Chain A
Amino acid sequence: MKKFLVRSFVLIVLGALAYNYLIKGESEIEYGITVDGVEIDIIDMHLHTGTWEALTEPYKERYSERVPKPFRFLIANLLGNGLKTEGILKQMDNAGIQRAGVFAVYSPDTTGIASNEFLYEQIKDRPDRMFGFYSIRTDHWNLNGKEELSKLEQDLLKYNATGIKLAHAHQQMRLDDERFDGIYEIAQRLEKPLYIHTGTSPNPYTRMEPPYVDPLYLEASIKKYPNAKFILGHSGYDSYRVKLTYLDSCITLAKKYDNVFIEPGALGSRKASEILLDYLRIMKEEDLIDRVIYGSDGPQFPGYTSSHLENTIAAMESTGYSGEEMKAVLQTNFENLFGL
């Protein structure tokens, strides 16, 4: 009985919060920021869609741990809605972000599945605000690799995709496995930049060994497909150990190849707060600001997209980024690469 009363109380509190949250009009939203007189229309290139049902059981458990026990019975509904069109847009609005990349994923071992079809349904009515990065299933590659490549190509064309998303560590693919070169060939031929997860991840069953997380293992493919654009997601951030373990590999590749870009997803999270300043300082010292494209890895939970951006902006100010440099990272590098 006591449990029931507690849950009812939680529902009432949440209802009140949701009421305030839902009635906020779009006209009240201010997009972008101005730094030193430079107007920046921020693009977050790395957001996720999906459903609670399509997450794996271990991943659901990990997600649930973030929520206080009395709230956990609500998580399926809250998270599910937060990853659909309105939920994603609401998180973008709260962060003052007008445009974002949204990813499909096929990681049945680790984070679950958000199919290309599902992604398209979520973003199709807002092409002005949400850019689709479509993906490919790879876990039966010896049996159906050709069919999967054909489906990827069709999906990229059918949905007018912005780019391709891969996560080798989640999809259990070695970065140096040449069987997957067909994906990079499609990226090059159709001129669809590839976002590739690099670095470790705390998600259960993610591969942690260097061949799955160190972008140096991708060098042969980067070299082989010089007109494919490779965005090294998370900048090789070793999220499991909270270190910049594979950042050197990203820097080496970006300096050596013009078709390599770097994204700092999750480095603006609270967990990474001690290394974010180092990261931004290194990128500036290495003269690679023109290769960094902002992304957060949101929405994750309410407020994450916004706090990730705020932390990143504050850290850029602390490390002496000018207004123009911030605009490059937060807006124009993406626009230039994707021809917007």
Chain B
Amino acid sequence: MNEMKEFRKKSRTVFSIALLAFIVGACSEPEETREQMTISGEITSISSLDGQTLYISIFHAQSGIGFQPHPLYEIDSFESQGTSFERTFFYDRQGNSGLVVYAWVDNDGDGINCTMQSRNDYAGVSVNEDFPNSSKSFDVELTKRCVGPDWFYPAKK
């Protein structure tokens, strides 16, 4: 008897939520909040970058997408054969702020930011927490071997 009552209660809950979702879904339309941005920058390193492939990734510094705000939500990644770069991408202001540009140089040419045998690929970041309200220029200095973007950001100021 109790099981039946429990089942009826669950059914009512499911039906109510479904009906609400149906009404809300029918009445709302998603709003476009993305805008096109172009950034540029220069990459330098304590080692020579001549003829080396550079791997560059762009992240929201902080993002609200997901359950809680968190840093380093990836927007775009690309390769560059030169030390200067320019990149255009869509930036979503809703729930996001700032920009982190992370780069690493593939000194041994294996396409991996350090293996366990070869650990000579340097990485660095450039951070602008005020983006897109200010500078769109990002100069990255590669200073640390075998690390990801989270090694640099967020960090104590």
Residues of A in contact with B (beta carbons under 8 Å apart): 4, 7, 11, 14-15, 18-19, 22-23, 53-58, 73-74, 76-77, 108-109, 112-113, 138-143, 172-174, 176-177, 179, 205, 207, 209-212, 216-217, 219
Beta-carbon contact of B68 and A210 below 8 Å:
no
In-complex Cβ contact of B150 among A4, A15, A173 (8 A): A173
The DSSP consensus for interface residues of chain B is: mixed
Q: Which residue of A lies closest to B13 (CB)?
A: A77
CA distance A53 to B149 in the complex (A): 28
Beta-carbon contact of A211 and B73 below 8 Å:
no
Q: When A22-B7, A109-B73 are in contact, do A142 and B22 touch as well, CB less than 8 Å?
A: no
A297: min CB distance to chain B, Å: 20
Q: When A54-B67, A143-B155 are in contact, do A76 and B115 touch as well, CB less than 8 Å?
A: no
Q: Which residue of B lies closest to A56 (CB)?
A: B66
Which residue, of B66, B116, B146, has the highest number of chain A Cβ atoms within 10 A?
A: B66
Residues of B within 8 A of A54 (CB): 67
Q: When A74-B14, A74-B18, A76-B17 are in contact, do A172 and B65 touch as well, CB less than 8 Å?
A: no
28 A–B contacts, CB within 8 A, in A order:
A7-B22, A18-B10, A18-B11, A18-B14, A23-B7, A56-B66, A57-B65, A57-B66, A58-B65, A74-B14, A74-B18, A74-B21, A76-B17, A77-B13, A108-B70, A109-B66, A113-B66, A113-B67, A113-B68, A139-B72, A140-B71, A143-B155, A172-B72, A176-B116, A177-B151, A209-B112, A212-B148, A219-B116
CA distance A138 to B70 in the complex (A): 10
CA distance A19 to B155 in the complex (A): 53
Residues of B within 8 A of A56 (CB): 65-67
Beta-carbon contact of A19 and B67 below 8 Å:
no
B142: min CB distance to chain A, Å: 16
B79: min CB distance to chain A, Å: 13
B49: min CB distance to chain A, Å: 20
In-complex Cβ contact of A108 among B7, B22, B68, B149 (8 A): B68
Q: Which residue of B lies closest to A249 (CB)?
A: B116
Residues of A within 8 A of B11 (CB): 15, 18
Residues of A within 8 A of B156 (CB): 142-143
CA distance A73 to B17 in the complex (A): 9
Give the contacts of B14-39 with A (CB-CB under 8 A). 14-15, 17-18, 21-22, 25
Q: Which residue of B lies closest to A14 (CB)?
A: B14
